[in-house]
Structure 1
Amino acid sequence: MITRRRLLGGLTAGAATTLGLTQAGRALGAPARPGASAPSAAGIPLHLVNRSGAFANSSVWVYLVGNDGTRQVHVTPDGELRPVALADNGPDGFTDYAIPLAASGTTTLRLPPMSGRIYTALGGKLKFKAVQDGNGKAALAYPAGWVSGDPNYGVVHDCAEFTFQNGGMYCNTTMVDMFSVPLAITLTGARQQTTGTLKDGARAAVFSAVRQAEGFDRLVIDDKRVIAPGHGLDSGLFAADHLAPAIDEAWSAYENKDLTVTTDAGTFTGRTRGGTLNFTGPRTVSFGKPSTRDVLFCDGTLAAPNDGVLGPVAAVLGAALNRSTLAGHAHQPTTDPAAFYQQRLTNHYAKAMHAATRDGKAYGFAFDDVGGFASYIEDPAPTEITLTLTPF
């Protein structure tokens, strides 16, 4: 399975870190597959459907931005793939890559082969600034709705991620950074699949659930968005040690008994010694006790290199800590969703997102694909893709 963690370089080369201090570096990537045919240079239809019920088509704009493998690019309303250029910044200092929706009904664009994001902006346009990256290439500073000083903070917006290359489409609706606009993706090709669809009234339910969870309330920004707790931590809206007792409990649980983690590489057996969780198995791997930030960002001591060994073990541990299953389940990964988020100290943001979706799948944190619980779909022979703004 290709995940949003697989090719972190899909957009990172040339991604800017100014303004919102963010990168477009987590969009899906897909390595070439033997025998895969290249998609048509003409691309495939991208249908945009506004069923938000809160904003008319005239108040919705879409942005197709990303990377074509060598450079940062954007898509024009007529489906042309153009490189980002510093000269694209207007008198206000920002580009205008906005694509308006049709006056009514479905808007259909041509999606060329690329890796990127589909941003939706409601009630106002987004401000993408073309900047020069560290290699002297033109890049984009992406919106960061979790940063109060970002020029897009006041705009209701969200995005879906995709990679369309090597004959296949790989896409997800992501809540890893924040949640604002209910989005659903339908992918048609070898078969038809849909993910991301929220239950009726679920947007309000997410806002309410996060607001009521102990320590999570400040992550709700009016009716605009809910910020993921990792970004909330960095912004001073979430306690840096919030998950520390749960992490301590999980690490202590394996001082006198074995923890087994099974991945495609085999089974790893671990014990905690001196604050370090040491595994033997196909290879010896070790993990220092993570911080709350490490768990929420699935980074730091839980960083997952794409090596097929250490990375998958880190992902399983990170998922178990976010889902609060590590201390009580000595055989990982835990795949029964009924066991997830049952402890007081858990990732209530991710819990709310999963409770909101019709299929129970969401990308509430970066390792949410462990066990197949992410709002992710792929197709080896796509013919069209539809992004729907579902009811608020």
Structure 2
Amino acid sequence: MLRLIRRVLERRAAAAGPALAALLAGSLLAAGTPATAEAAVPATIPLKITNNSGRAEPLYVYNLGTDLASGRQGWADANGTFRPWPAGGNPPTPAPDASIPGPAPGQTVTIRLPGFSGRVYFSYGQKLAFKLATGGLVQPAVQNPSDPNRDILFNWSEYTLNDSGLWLNSTQVDMFSAPYSVGVQRGDGSTATTGRLKPGGYQGVLNTLRAQPGGWGNLIQTRSDGTVLRALSPLYGLETGALPASVMDDYINRVWQKYSTETLTVTPFADRPGTKYYGRVSGGVMNFTDGSGAVVTSFQKPDASSVFGCHGKLVAPNDQVRGPISRTLCAGFNRTTLLVNPNQPDPDAGAFYKDGVTNHYARAIHAHMADGKAYAFAFDDVGNHESLVHDGNPQEARITLEPMN
């Protein structure tokens, strides 16, 4: 997470490794999340994993990431001891077995989180298959039908633990699968929790997708025994053909038409309300100017992949101008607020996903979260609508596996 202060989110290639988690927390730091520690953060903190899933299969846990002290990729055992990955190969070679036995149903297991930027994976019934390429760890890519993890029920959380504290989130950026919530016990003894679905929320999300015309139900992947494994994100739905490439075209075209005669005002920094940029479409390109009228960046009309992945024509570099504007545009397109509010980001969650052409995947997930918060697309943290817990003096982290009902 320290590699970038702000997430530069080009959706991961097969061998992107835990950099996604690093980029994620970087954006959280940049978004103005307080990072003041009341006391020195210890080298490791306990992570309490509670299995309330009701599932009888064996549970396997993995703690994979980048060691912030050395910058090396690797894994941590149950005691929080860092172990670097050996050299990979081409083709990729099997990674060492980094699994940790997880808790039985109704039980809790406590492991240690080290100074990491990474992911905590968990899988039901079967260990995950990780491999090492010459560029690092190959993450599961279940949008690929030949991926060895395609028929395994699994999920992951993302976190960073550094000298400024703990950032821990639940994520649905890649897929919606085995549900869980995250929490932290703060230095003052209080606790914070997020990521928990409403009762019946898991099936509620899946049923919403099934009922939505246009191929959204095709995002759902099922195992041969009938087990529903996950719903892919719409970005991967595009890649697999589950969704048509034109799924967002109508909305994108209406936005481009609107701002050919009107101005879109973007205020990308909540703590700097005086920093504004002004967008107008001319010659098919949306140009943004600053207060002096100088053009600071321009955007070609995006496609659905750029919108859902917050990449491509909406790529957000690690800078102070285009990146923040792009983040805001990406959020506005996914939430479909750009036509109803020319001042972005729109702070009113009640106005999100109201257009008939929208990110119905994100709509369904947010609607079924107990607190309304989720990471349903890459820049869902714009406006602090993400499922994140943070503390500068964490005493304990928590992941609770929830039932799939």
State TM-score, norm by structure 1.
0.89
1: CA distance, partners of 2:280 / 2:88: 57
User: What are the Cα deviations for residues 188-241 of structure 1, in whole angstroms up to 9, with x where unaligned?
Assistant: 124421110111111111111112212212101121100001011112221112
2: CA distance, partners of 1:5 / 1:318: 19
Structure 2 counterpart of 1:95, one-letter code: P
Cα distance change, pair 304–255 in 1 and its aligned pair in 2 (3 A): same
Structure 1 unaligned residues grouped into runs of 5+: 134-138
Q: How many angstroms does 1:157 deviate by?
A: 0.6
Which residue is 2:18 aligned to? 24
Which residue is 1:228 aligned to? 233
* Residue 286 of structure 2 corresponds to residue 277 of structure 1: yes
Query: How do 1:63-74 and structure 2 match up within 5 A?
Result: 63-69=62-68, 70-74=71-75
Q: How many angstroms does 1:130 deviate by?
A: 2.5
Query: How do 1:1-392 and structure 2 match up within 5 A?
Result: 6=5, 8=7, 20=14, 23-27=17-21, 28-30=24-26, 39-41=41-43, 43-53=44-54, 55-56=55-56, 59-69=58-68, 70-86=71-87, 93-103=94-104, 105-133=107-135, 139-190=136-187, 191-215=190-214, 216-222=216-222, 223-264=228-269, 266-281=275-290, 284-392=296-404
Q: How many angstroms does 1:337 deviate by?
A: 1.3
**Identity of paired residues, percent?**
38
1: CA distance, partners of 2:397 / 2:256: 44
SS of 1:320 mapped into structure 2: helix
Mapped contact 1:163–1:170 kept (Cα < 8 A): yes
2: CA distance, partners of 1:391 / 1:279: 46
Q: How many angstroms does 1:328 deviate by?
A: 2.2
Q: How many angstroms does 1:22 deviate by?
A: 5.1
SS of 1:109 mapped into structure 2: strand
Mapped contact 1:38–1:165 kept (Cα < 8 A): no
Identify the range of structure 1 (263-272 vs 220-229) with the bigger mean alpha-carbon deviation: 263-272
SS of 2:142 mapped into structure 1: coil
Cα distance change, pair 3–327 in 1 and its aligned pair in 2 (3 A): farther
Q: How many angstroms does 1:7 deviate by?
A: 5.0
Identify the range of structure 1 (195-204 vs 79-88) with the bigger mean alpha-carbon deviation: 79-88
Mapped contact 2:36–2:164 kept (Cα < 8 A): no
Cα distance change, pair 131–3 in 1 and its aligned pair in 2 (3 A): closer
1: CA distance, partners of 2:339 / 2:255: 4
SS of 2:19 mapped into structure 1: coil
2: CA distance, partners of 1:144 / 1:47: 27
2: CA distance, partners of 1:272 / 1:262: 18
Mapped contact 1:259–1:269 kept (Cα < 8 A): yes
User: What are the Cα deviations for residues 112-158 of structure 1, in whole angstroms up to 9, with x where unaligned?
Assistant: 1111001010121101113322xxxxx22111222211100000011
1: CA distance, partners of 2:59 / 2:15: 25
State TM-score, norm by structure 2.
0.86
User: What are the Cα deviations for residues 285-335 of structure 1, in whole angstroms up to 9, with x where unaligned?
Assistant: 221111111000001121112212221111111111111111221111111
Structure 2 unaligned residues grouped into runs of 5+: 223-227
2: CA distance, partners of 1:4 / 1:219: 32
Mapped contact 1:362–1:375 kept (Cα < 8 A): yes
Identify the range of structure 1 (228-237 vs 21-30) with the bigger mean alpha-carbon deviation: 21-30
1: CA distance, partners of 2:102 / 2:86: 24
Structure 1 stretches of at least 4 aligned residues deviating more than 4 Å after TM superposition:
2-10, 30-38
Q: How many angstroms does 1:167 deviate by?
A: 3.1
Q: How many angstroms does 1:35 deviate by?
A: 7.7
Cα distance change, pair 271–109 in 1 and its aligned pair in 2 (3 A): same
Q: How many angstroms does 1:23 deviate by?
A: 3.8
Structure 2 counterpart of 1:321, one-letter code: F
Mapped contact 2:153–2:229 kept (Cα < 8 A): yes
Q: How many angstroms does 1:259 deviate by?
A: 1.4
SS of 2:63 mapped into structure 1: strand
2: CA distance, partners of 1:147 / 1:87: 21
Mapped contact 2:18–2:66 kept (Cα < 8 A): no
Q: How many angstroms does 1:244 deviate by?
A: 0.8
